[in-house]
Amino acid sequence: MCQAFVMESQLIVVNLHSRKSIKVTGKVHSEAKSFALNLGSDGSNLLLHFNPRFDNQGDFRTIVCNSRQDREWGEAQRDDRFPFQQGEEAMIWISFDAKNMTVKMSEEHEIKFPNRLGLERIEFLSVDGDFKVQSIKID
């Protein structure tokens, strides 16, 4: 059974098994610098750190993806196709299997990122930065 609970801190507890998907809808702040969706078993073990950067840490209109195991970051993957706009709504669909995470931001834009941790279940989702979650749907 999949469950989601939204808390004020934008920390969401989920029980998402591989081959399922999660759709996060929200609004990007009007003066956004960056935001991040973090999915994994806990904050120290992230299967995916999905970080669109409008203008942050030397990146401009770039999506940075990474993983984290036992608090150690892996090698970042960057994508300069950037479908997000400040002050507008955004929908992000995330699914995964034993090999990859798939993140869709529109019909035209999809990112694949390797399942480096080999997780079969996601129990942790947090949203940080300049993004206000409006809804979460698990399929």
Residue 68: pLDDT band with limits 50, 70, 90: very high
Instruction: For the chain, give every domain's residue range.
Output: 4-138
> Among 115, 107, 57, which residue's Cα sits nearest to residue 81?
107
4-24 pLDDT tens trace? 433 334 656 567 777 789 999
Predicted model pTM: 0.89
86-133 pLDDT tens trace? 999 999 999 999 999 999 998 789 999 999 999 999 999 999 999 999
pLDDT score at 8 = 37
Strand ranges, E, within 7-88: 11-17, 21-28, 35-42, 45-56, 59-69, 72-73, 77-79
The answer to whether domain 4-138 has CATH 3.40.50.300 is: no
